[in-house]
Amino acid sequence: MVKEEQEESSNRPDNTAFTQQRLPAWQPILSASIVIPMFLLIGAAFIGVGVALFITSRDIQLQELDYTGDDSEHPCFKCRTNTEKCTCSMTFSIPTLFKGPVFFYYGLTNYFQNQRKYGASKDDNQLYGDLNYFTSPSTDCDPYTRDSKNMPIVPCGALANSMFNDTFTLSHTVNGVQKIVPLDGKGIAWWTDYNIKYRNPSITPLINAFNGTKKPTNWPKPIYELDTTDVYNNGFINQDFLVWMRRAALPDFRKLYRRITHDDYAAGLPAGNYTLTIAYNYPVHSFNGKKKVVLSNVSWMGGKNDFLGIAYIVVGSMCVVMSVVMLIVYARFKFAEDV
């Protein structure tokens, strides 16, 4: 049939739903009776989620300790401007059981790890263990590509150079005796970072791979000595290094330092007094930064986050208010018409 038509007139357009713009289509016709309940429903759902989030977040325990030492009373005040090795300790008490698993974070404020040049100042190829980039690192790393003697720096770049190097020990005072709380440094970095993104050159011993290179200028020891006890935590795949290299999104951030998973503390930190001993190395006073230690447990939604819950409740309430306004507007028109 169609063929015949085509034969008699070649220019005749095809009579299909598409060409004639008659495609079957669903044309949802909205009305007030759909729109208003929809708004109400969405609003209610948002409020529900918000409340759930808020409650969950409230139940998360959080212990935050600022150890910057800006205050002269502060035990770490002495270390603030000290360039030498300096240790200070802070005590705090936990009134009730701090439910496990407990995560041990360090936090920095006013620290622009998301600065573009700073963030870009690394060489992904080098960190992937490509030896070619050991001898000639990418210019992205400037001015941390080579040292004053024109030796290539590995790992190059500002990001690596500024690696956080405070260390912490946490001890629990049990019957007046300080008992070290074992901190677990395994598995704090991302799986992909540890297994794929960062790699040591396949040369054993590792140190040989770094012949002819220099350590970053700020570092006390080269990368292949970050953890000499554990081959799988040394070099580029050192977990602390990996955590640092994963840039923070915003100037105030936390980074996971350790987890408390030891059998004695698997259920959490019991109530009591604790002492935090800090090897204070990292200078922050130049940019008015703060350094913190944060102990926190987690829920299904991760760490404590009141903002999300509140935001959900606010937006949900807005929807509900809007639906009420719509109802009033609708009723007024309805009313006016009926009259």
Partner 1 sequence: MSKEDVESGLTWEVKANSRHYHKHKQRKSFLCFTWGRYSDNVVRSHKYSLLTFLPLTLFEQFQRAANIYFLLMVVLQCVPAISSIPWYITIIPLLVVLSVRGLKDLASDMARRRCDSEINSRPCDVLVSQSFMTAQWKDVCVGDLLRIRRDQIIPADLLLLSSSEPHSLCYVETADIDGETNLKYRQALGATHNELTSHPSEEALGAFNGVVLCEEPNNRLYTFRGQLQWQGECFLLENEHVLLRGTVLRNTDFAYGLTIYTGADTKILRNCGKLRAKRTQLEEVFNKVVIGIVLSVLLAALLLAIGAGVFSYQVMTQTSFLSALVVDGNPAYNGFLVYWSYIILLSPAMPIALYITFEVIHTIHSKFIGWDLEMYWKQTDKPAEARNTSLSEELGQVGYLLSDKTGTLTQNRLLLRQCCIAGQIYGDASVRAEDVKPMDLSWNPFSSGGLRMFSPTLVETLRGQRCPVTTQFLSALALCHTVMAEWKEGSPVYQAASPDEETLVGAARELGWVFLSRTRDFVVVSELGATRQYQLLALLDFTSKRRRMSVLVRDPEGGLKLYCKGADVVILERLQKNCPHQESTEMALELFAEACLRTLCVAVRSVPEALWERWSETLALSAAMATCERDTLLEKLYDEMERDLLLLGVTAIEDRLQEGVPETIALLQEAGIRVWVLTGDKKETAVNIGYACRLLHPESRLLEWQELRQILQSADPQVSFFKAKQTELWATHKEMARAKTSVVLTGSELAEFEERPEWGASFMSLAEQCQSVLCCRVTPAQKAEIVKLVRKHTASITMSIGDGANDVNMIKTAHIGVGLAGREGGQAVHNADFAVSQFRFLQRLLLVHGRWSYRRISLFLRYFLFKTCGFALVHIWFGILNGFSAQSLYETWFIALYTVFYTAVPVMCMAFFEQDVSAESSLKFPELYKSGQKKELSSPRKLVTYLLYAVYMSLVLFFIPCGVFYNTAYDYQTMAVTVSMAATFAVTVEIVILTKYWTKFNIAALCVSVVMFFICTRITHSTRLFQSSPADYFFLGVSEKAFIDPVVWLTALLTAWTAVLPSVTFHAFNVILSVHNKHKIHNSSPPPVELTSRFARGSSLRRSSYAISQGAGPGRLIHSATSIQRAEALKEEKVSTSKKLRDI
169 binds partner 1 (CB under 8 A): no
Residues of this chain, 185-224, that bind partner 1 according to CB under 8 A: 190-193, 196-197
One-letter amino acid at 112 equals F
- 29, 30, 32, 36: CA torsion to nearest 10: 160
Q: Is 90 in the site for partner 1 (CB under 8 A)?
A: no
Q: Tell me the C-alpha distance between 43 and 40, whole Å.
A: 5
Q: Which of 68, 121, 234, 297 binds partner 1 (CB under 8 A)?
A: 121
Binding of residue 10 to partner 1 (CB under 8 A): yes
The reply on whether position 339 binds partner 1 by CB under 8 A is: no
CA dihedral 234, 239, 242, 246 (to 10 degrees): -170
Here the tokens at position 338 are 């009926």
3, 4, 11, 211: which one contacts partner 1 (CB under 8 A)? 11
Would you count residue 139 as binding partner 1 (CB under 8 A)?
A: yes
Measure Cα distances from 39 to 54, 69, 320 in Å.
Answer: 22, 51, 7
Q: Give yes or no for residue 89 binding partner 1 (CB under 8 A).
A: no
SS3 237: helix
Beta carbons within 8 Å of 127's beta carbon, 6+ residues apart: 155, 197, 198, 199, 236, 245
Strands 272-279 and 268-269, bridge-based pairing: unpaired
Which one of the spans 27-35, 75-83, 171-179, 264-272 is the region binding partner 1 (CB under 8 A)?
Answer: 27-35
Binding of residue 53 to partner 1 (CB under 8 A):
yes
In the complex, minimum distance from the CB of residue 251 to partner 1, in angstroms, rounded to a whole number: 6
Quick one: DSSP state of residue 182? P
Among 3, 4, 7, 13, binds partner 1 (CB under 8 A): 13
Instruction: Kindly state whether residue 125 participates in binding partner 1, applying the rule CB under 8 A.
Output: yes
Residue 326 near partner 1 by CB under 8 A? yes
Restricted to residues 228-287, the positions that interact with partner 1 (CB under 8 A) are 246-256, 283, 286-287
